[in-house]
Amino acid sequence: MKLELTTWQRVIVISILNALRGPVAIVRKAGKLLDILDLSQEEKADIGLVELAPGSFQWKDAGRTWEMEIADRELAAFLKQQVQAFQDWPVARRADVEDLLAQLGVGDEQAAD
């Protein structure tokens, strides 16, 4: 699965994965995805990313997009499942949310109510 994520989308997906709890299988899958998606210290510095409070971030390069690839189908399906199940989407970011859902292949009939 190839993705082109905005910084906001990447940060929110990382936050979703970091918030997961569960058995070892979930920890391992989330960890493998974080190995791919997590921002390196250099990337954080490049965009001026700072954590204001736990789970609240700010960055300077709002126009930055990131090409990411998740080659493992099982991991891609797991990511889709976790993003689909997330219940705290901000309506103010609906364009970013809709774009992320489209990239992951989550249709209206699959989106959680």
Structure tokens at 34: 């974080």
Residue 42, SS3?
helix
Domain span at residue 16?
2-104
Say how many CA atoms lie within 13 Å of 95 toward its Cβ: 1
Amino acid sitting at position 91: V
Q: pLDDT by residue (tens digit) across 8-51?
A: 999 999 999 999 999 999 999 999 999 999 999 999 999 998 88
Does residue 54 sit within a domain?
yes
Does residue 62 sit within a domain?
yes
Does residue 90 sit within a domain?
yes
How far is the C-alpha of 70 from the C-alpha of 90, rounded, in Å? 25
Q: Which backbone phi and psi does 4 adopt, to 5 degrees?
A: -125, 95
Amino acid sitting at position 47: I
**CB 112 within 8 Å of CB 85:** yes
What is the structure's pLDDT at 108?
A: 67
Does residue 111 sit within a domain?
no
Does residue 109 sit within a domain?
no
What is the structure's pLDDT at 8?
A: 94
Judged by average pLDDT, the poorest of 55-59, 70-74, 89-93, 103-107 is: 55-59
3-state secondary structure 9-37: HHHHHHHHHHHCCCCHHHHHHHHHHHHHH
Name the domain count of the chain. 1
What is the structure's pLDDT at 70?
A: 97
Does residue 110 sit within a domain?
no
Q: pLDDT by residue (tens digit) across 67-86?
A: 999 999 999 999 999 999 99
